[in-house]
Amino acid sequence: METVIQIQNVTKTFVGKDNRVEALKGINLEIHKGEIYGIIGMSGAGKSTLVRCLNFLERPTSGTVLIEGKDLSTMSDGELRSTRTQIAMIFQHFNLLMQRTVIDNICFPLEITKVPRKDALARARELLEIVGLSEKELAYPAQLSGGQKQRVAIARALATNPKILLCDEATSALDPKTTRAILGLLKEINEKYGITIVIITHEMAVVQEICSHVAIIDEGVLAETGTVTEVFQRPKSRAAKKLVFQGEGEQHLEMKGKRCIRIVFTSNSSFEPVIANMVLTCKMPVNILLADTRDIGGVAHGQMILQLPEDHKTAESMIEYLKTRKLEVEELDNYVG
């Protein structure tokens, strides 16, 4: 696949009067044409700094960012401005111009690039139809809901026909229903126009809803990369496990000295009451620490974390039983939620 974004050993250090913060530490990533790529991490992990390095709103302290094979650090200011017209961005708080109507907000980037007013209006109306807001062209941002504001922001971002769309926590200020609608719109745009989309988020549910690939950033370090399905089924790093294991709104305790396993199943393996049958077969109860189902790429993927009996023989029998049912079983040294 064609590589659109290549990040090579990127570091970013912020130096203040009394402190020095390494926000990014040697990040290496490749993002291919047409992907919806998720970059996820907890607050302060460095993910927003990384996305701002992709269009040089933040210049890396060291390392290289290549867009379609072109090194941003070697570009003149004019070349960089031209390249940025192909790298659009939407934000958590929309960043609309409050004194302009919806259609004038969408026309704004076209004004900057000297597109004739007639052509700019035609393009803006085309985009309003795409995002489902044709009837709102003369409204002002204050008259719109959060979801409508983000749709306007998406339309504005698409005005210059970008090849790349960067979304920095674009759904964090929205309720769950509106979030799903906005993610559905982004997926539709990706499929229809082939735009490469990079989603920056702290929510695993967002990545699982829309992304094909994911990178996990932890304290400025790239902890793990892979397809979303791979990372969900077999998380390797502590940061990935914490994101995958956390339930919606749940608080988990760190458990040490207990024999815990994680099993993963898809919609094709979830019909048999496998845990109940295992308990009946092995004649010993288990403690269910976590159980949830998530939609990844339109397929239901479930996970359960079980605390097995302390009796070694019984625990081994249970693991063997699960494996004979074609379930993936991972033993957890310490379950950390």
Q: Which amino acid is at 57?
A: L
Burial class of residue 285 (count of CB atoms within 10 Å of its CB; 0-12, 13-18, 19+):
exposed
Confirm whether 218 is domain-assigned.
Answer: yes
The pLDDT of residue 75: 92
Q: Where are the beta strands (DSSP E) in the chain?
A: 3-15, 20-32, 36-40, 62-67, 70-71, 87-91, 164-168, 196-201, 213-218, 221-227, 260-266, 287-296, 299-307, 328-332
pLDDT(197) > 90: yes
Of the three residues 212, 239, 266, the one that is the final residue of a domain is: 239
Q: Helix (H, G, I), strand (E, B), or coil: what is residue 251? A: coil
**Same domain for 12 and 120:** yes
Confirm whether 300 is domain-assigned.
Answer: yes
**Domain range holding 60?**
3-239
Confidence of residue 298 (pLDDT cuts 50, 70, 90): low
Q: How many residues does the chain have?
A: 337
**Same domain for 94 and 11:** yes
**Same domain for 165 and 17:** yes
High-pLDDT (> 70) share of the chain, %: 91
CB 45 within 8 A of CB 103: no
Confidence of residue 270 (pLDDT cuts 50, 70, 90): low
Q: Give the C-alpha distances (Å, rounded to integers) separating 75 from 31, 32, 62, 87, 260.
A: 21, 22, 15, 15, 53
**Same domain for 122 and 70:** yes
Residue 112 CB neighbour total at 10 angstroms? 12
CB 160 within 8 A of CB 88: yes
d(CA 260, CA 336): 11
Determine which of 37-46, 154-163, 188-197, 294-303 has the lowest per-residue pLDDT on average.
294-303
Confirm whether 337 is domain-assigned.
Answer: no
Of the three residues 193, 213, 239, the one that is the final residue of a domain is: 239
d(CA 159, CA 152): 11
CATH, residue 268: 3.30.70.260
**Same domain for 255 and 233:** no
Q: Give the C-alpha distances (Å, rounded to integers) separating 243 from 66, 175, 250, 252, 287.
A: 29, 20, 12, 12, 21
Q: Where are the beta strands (DSSP E) in 142-286?
A: 164-168, 196-201, 213-218, 221-227, 260-266
Spatial CA neighbour of 148 closest among 126, 122, 181: 181
Confirm whether 25 is domain-assigned.
Answer: yes
150 CB contacts (<8 Å, ≥6 apart)?
90, 94, 170, 171, 174, 178, 182
335 CB contacts (<8 Å, ≥6 apart)?
245, 252, 254, 255, 258, 260, 289, 305, 307
**Same domain for 285 and 232:** no
**Same domain for 197 and 59:** yes
Q: Helix (H, G, I), strand (E, B), or coil: what is residue 276? A: helix
| Residue 213, φ and ψ in degrees, nearest 5 | -130, 160
- The total number of structural domains in the chain stands at 2
71-80, 246-255, 289-298: which is most confident? 71-80
CATH, residue 115: 3.40.50.300
Residue 262 CB neighbour total at 10 angstroms? 22
pLDDT digits (tens, 9 = 90+) for 141-152: 999 999 999 999
**Same domain for 276 and 179:** no
**Same domain for 155 and 11:** yes
The pLDDT of residue 252: 44
Looking at per-residue pLDDT, the higher value among 224 and 1 belongs to: 224
Alpha helices in 159-273 (DSSP H): 176-193, 204-210, 228-233, 238-245
**Same domain for 262 and 152:** no
> What b/e sequence results for 57-85 when a residue is b if at least 16 CB atoms lie within 10 Å of its CB, and e otherwise?
ebebeebebbbeeeebeebeeeeeeebbe
**Same domain for 209 and 85:** yes
Of the three residues 239, 260, 293, the one that is the final residue of a domain is: 239
Confirm whether 154 is domain-assigned.
Answer: yes
**Same domain for 152 and 103:** yes
Determine which of 13-22, 36-45, 298-307 has the lowest per-residue pLDDT on average.
298-307
Going by the DSSP 8-state scheme, the letter that residue 279 receives in this structure is H
Confirm whether 27 is domain-assigned.
Answer: yes
Q: Helix (H, G, I), strand (E, B), or coil: what is residue 97? A: coil
pLDDT digits (tens, 9 = 90+) for 30-87: 999 999 999 998 888 888 899 999 999 899 999 999 999 999 999 998 899 888 889 9
Spatial CA neighbour of 123 closest among 154, 96, 155: 155
Confirm whether 192 is domain-assigned.
Answer: yes
